[in-house]
């Protein structure tokens, strides 16, 4: 039996069906292949707690990608697969890895710490005897335990806080003569221990002179002493005595006293009051002598009126006293006198700028 051959049209249809089947197989294979080679984008970095100036290695953990670009978050970039990078400033940087073909990205926040602490000073222009706030500035995003230790020289006085705190208030009291044209410099040191590692910082502070007034004293032995008025204070206590302060040596102090040639009487007056001192004590009265009141029964040797600061200075056998000139109408003193030193037998006092 002879088999009938297909016509040319039937052969064309058969060939087309075969081609469509092959194309379908190829498409399905491609889809399956793409599913097996899915692009993933990820990375890691080391060290995980980098510091400024330290090299950070970024490791590309992506799969099935082609070309990559890096954005380090500090206006720097790279196109190598696993680059290294160094940050110059502390902070948190958003680092992004991108795969070019699929445009897939991965972003991690990288926190960079400062390897050294810094010392913050609130005041811009610092003068001698100013109260100056010092603060330890430490970048500690991982909340590591931190301890502090300040280092001050012998002429820097701690006013508040303690040397193991992050914030202290000090006063620079250097005895060398300084002026606005020739200020002095002071060094403040700080050690911090963080995560078991000690870091150190030092700050150089420029200290200017402040115009102020002082009292000069001379004793029978010809020694000269000086007591300084502090800005915004009344008068310093006996603990604040500085011999030779504000550029005066003992000899300079005597010369200033001699140049002033003070004529210190046992009677002086100010603001329509008369102050009288002697062996019977210290008295205040009206200028005509009426309404006289005894302020102290101690024997008074020298009286000096400070009209600039509204104070009366007088000497007794116990030392030199300062009395604020605040009185009621009947000449009763509203404030008690303050003994400012224990110098005895003072022979001269003058107020000097």
Mean pLDDT over 220-241 rounds to 53
Using the predicted structure, report yes or no on whether residue 10 has a pLDDT greater than 50: yes
Using the predicted structure, report yes or no on whether residue 66 has a pLDDT greater than 80: yes
Using the predicted structure, report yes or no on whether residue 78 has a pLDDT greater than 90: yes
Residue 91's pLDDT band, with cuts at 50, 70 and 90, is confident
pLDDT at 267: 59
The tens digit of pLDDT for each residue in 31-65 reads 555 555 789 999 999 999 888 888 999 999 999 98
Task: Output the average pLDDT for the chain.
Answer: 77
pLDDT at 16: 52
The tens digit of pLDDT for each residue in 333-343 reads 777 787 877 77
Same fold, 43-112 and 118-208: yes
pLDDT at 245: 38
pLDDT, greater one: 348 or 68? 68
Residue 243's pLDDT band, with cuts at 50, 70 and 90, is very low
Instruction: Provide the whole-model pTM.
Output: 0.47
pLDDT at 344: 79
Q: Where are the domains of the chain?
A: 43-112, 118-208, 214-352
What percentage of the chain exceeds 90 in pLDDT? Answer: 24
pLDDT at 287: 81
Mean pLDDT over 285-314 rounds to 83
Overall fold of domain 118-208 = Immunoglobulin-like (2.60.40)
Using the predicted structure, report yes or no on whether residue 181 has a pLDDT greater than 90: no
Q: Classify 43-112 by CATH class.
A: mainly beta
Mean pLDDT over 135-150 rounds to 86
Residue 239's pLDDT band, with cuts at 50, 70 and 90, is very low
What percentage of the chain exceeds 70 in pLDDT? Answer: 69
Residue 264's pLDDT band, with cuts at 50, 70 and 90, is very low
The 3-state secondary structure of the chain reads: CCCCCCCHHHHHHHHHHHHHHHHHHHHHHHHHHHHHCCCECCEEEECCCCECCCEEEEEECCECCCCEEEECCCCCEECCCCCEEECCCCEEEEEEEEECCCCCEEEEEEEEECCCCEEEECCCCEECCCCEEEEEECCCCCCCCEEEEEECCCCEEEEECCCCCCEEEEEECCCCCCCCCCCEEEEEEEEEEECCEEEEEEEEEEEECCCCCEEEEECCCCCEEEEECCCCCCCCCHHHCCCCHHHCCHHHHHHHHHHHCCCCCCEEEECCEEEEEECCEEEEEECCCCCCEEEECCCCCCEEEECCCCEEEEEECCEEEEEECCECCCCCECCCCEEEECCCCCCEEEEEC
């Amino acid at each position: 039996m002879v088999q009938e051959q297909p016509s040319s049209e039937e052969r064309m249809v058969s060939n087309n069906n075969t081609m469509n089947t092959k194309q379908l197989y190829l498409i399905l294979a491609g889809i399956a292949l793409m599913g097996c080679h899915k692009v993933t984008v990820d990375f890691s970095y080391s060290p995980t707690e980098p510091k400024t100036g330290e090299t950070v290695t970024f490791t590309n953990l992506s799969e099935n990608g082609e070309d990559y670009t890096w954005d380090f978050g500090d206006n720097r970039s790279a196109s190598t697969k696993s680059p290294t990078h160094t940050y110059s400033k502390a902070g948190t940087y958003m680092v992004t890895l991108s795969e070019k073909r699929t445009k897939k990205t991965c972003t991690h926040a990288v926190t960079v710490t400062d390897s050294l602490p810094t010392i913050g000073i609130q005041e811009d222009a610092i003068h001698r005897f100013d109260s100056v706030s010092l603060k330890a500035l430490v970048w500690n995003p991982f909340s590591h335990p931190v301890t502090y230790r300040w280092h001050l020289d012998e002429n820097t006085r701690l006013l508040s806080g303690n040397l193991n705190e992050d914030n202290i208030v000090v006063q620079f009291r250097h005895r060398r003569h300084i002026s606005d044209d020739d200020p002095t410099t002071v060094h403040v040191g700080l050690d911090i221990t963080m995560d078991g590692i000690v870091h150190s910082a030092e700050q150089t502070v420029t200290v200017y002179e402040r115009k102020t007034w002082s009292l000069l004293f001379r004793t029978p032995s010809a020694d000269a002493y000086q007591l300084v008025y502090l800005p915004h204070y009344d008068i310093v206590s006996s603990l604040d005595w500085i011999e030779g302060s504000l550029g005066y040596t003992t000899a300079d102090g005597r010369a200033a006293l001699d140049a002033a040639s003070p004529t210190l009487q046992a009677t002086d007056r100010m603001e329509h009051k008369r102050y009288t001192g002697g062996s019977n004590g210290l008295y205040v009265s009206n200028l005509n002598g009426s309404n006289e009141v005894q302020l102290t029964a101690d024997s008074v040797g020298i009286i000096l009126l400070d009209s600039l600061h509204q104070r009366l200075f007088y000497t007794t056998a116990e030392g030199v006293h300062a009395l604020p000139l605040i009185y009621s109408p009947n000449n009763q003193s509203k404030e008690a006198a303050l003994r400012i030193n224990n110098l005895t037998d003072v022979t001269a006092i003058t107020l000097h700028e």
